[in-house]
Structure 1
Amino acid sequence: MAHIDLGLDEKEFPGISGPMRYRPETAGPLNELAEVLLRRGPHPLSPGERELIAAYVSGLNECNFCCSSHSAFAAAQLDTGMTLVDQVRSNLDTAPVSEKLRALLRIAGAVQQDGRKVTTAMVDAARAEGAIDLEIHDTVLIAAAFCMFNRYVDGLATALPEDSSRYAEAAQRIIHEGYHH
């Protein structure tokens, strides 16, 4: 049960959807931020890669709802699906991703710990693998935003879906309708 009365059935609106419905005035800007960071293009990183960054950070933060959601969203948009997501989350060093994405995920992991842990060497390593400033900027912002989203969900003790198939259903909705639904 959530720490506050969200005024709705938590089973019907698990995770972030409950607090978003509770406070639609903040939901609009938060959904717009997610839309811009994770879906809007053109962008050098695919939506699947951007969702992977969100899933990776959410996993590091141990936010079950956001990690499961964005893992499903990433998997639905990446060629090798959940296999790749699981490989990245279990061992970034050996996961079959490009060196550029690996460098960006390292930056995201540093942001998750403390933004000041992002070093010039990390940024230089990403640039050496072909990352441009937009990719570096958005990686940092995705990581920072998901630390906030994760704390929002967990700080209110929102419920997890009873049926894990809801994550895949939500992925299809996000792919087709975006975060403005």
Structure 2
Amino acid sequence: MAHIDLGVDEKEFPGITGPMRFRPETAKPLNELAEVLLRGPHSLTPGERELIAAYVSGGNECGFCCASHSAFAAAQLDGGMPLVDQVRADADAAPISAKLRALLRIAGVVRVDGRSVTPELIAAARAEGATDLEIHDTVLIAAAFCMYNRYVDGLGTLQPEDPQRYVESAHRIVEYGYTASIG
């Protein structure tokens, strides 16, 4: 049970969906940010950007966000959930591009302390072909997901245990995006 009365059935609106229903005026910009960062036109695929969100959420131990964005990434990456699981377990050994690996290293550092991002990490990402936009958005995705993770966990929202719930959400996000229901 959430720490506050969200005014919704938590089984129907688990995780971040309950708080977003509780405060639709804050849900709108939060969803718009997710839409731009994770689905907007970009040189990184939506699956790669969702993978960054899942990686950060896993590191933050936010079960709902990690499960959600892992499913969203899996639905959009050729390697599916096995690839997502490999990346989350050991990004250095996972079969991903060197550029994405370098960006995940940056995201992992931002997750802990953004001030710890070093010129060497940035240079390493650039050496693997990362653009300034990709580096910028990786940092912003990591920072935003620290916020989203703390929002979900700070309110103690329900996390569905059935993995199928996340797969169903993934189909909706892939087809309609984050802003479809905010009008």
TM-score (norm 2): 0.97
**How much has 1:162 moved relative to structure 2?**
4.4
> Aligned partners of 1:169, 1:130: CA distance in 2, in Å?
34
> Aligned partners of 2:143, 2:13: CA distance in 1, in Å?
24
Asked if the contact 1:84/1:96 (under 8 Å) is kept, the reply is yes
> Aligned partners of 1:8, 1:91: CA distance in 2, in Å?
37
> Aligned partners of 1:55, 1:162: CA distance in 2, in Å?
17
> Aligned partners of 2:92, 2:131: CA distance in 1, in Å?
21
TM-score (norm 1): 0.98
> What are the equivalent positions in structure 2 for 1:108-147 lying under 5 Å apart?
108-147=107-146
The answer for unaligned runs of 5 or more in structure 1 is none
The residue that corresponds to 1:76 in the other structure is 75
Q: Give 4+ residue runs of structure 1 displaced > 2 Å after superposition.
A: none
> Aligned partners of 1:55, 1:141: CA distance in 2, in Å?
14
SS at 2:76 equivalent: coil
> Aligned partners of 2:80, 2:15: CA distance in 1, in Å?
23
SS at 2:44 equivalent: coil
Q: Percent identity?
A: 76
The residue that corresponds to 1:14 in the other structure is 14
Question: Which stretch shows the higher mean deviation, 153-162 or 119-128?
Answer: 153-162
Asked if the contact 1:11/1:162 (under 8 Å) is kept, the reply is no
The answer for unaligned runs of 5 or more in structure 2 is none
2:101 is aligned with 1:102? yes
> Aligned partners of 1:111, 1:179: CA distance in 2, in Å?
24
The residue that corresponds to 1:52 in the other structure is 51
Across the two proteins, how many residue pairs are aligned to each other?
180
- Cα RMSD of the aligned pairs, angstroms, is 0.6
**Partner AA of 1:160 in structure 2:** Q
**Partner AA of 2:35 in structure 1:** E
The residue that corresponds to 2:29 in the other structure is 29
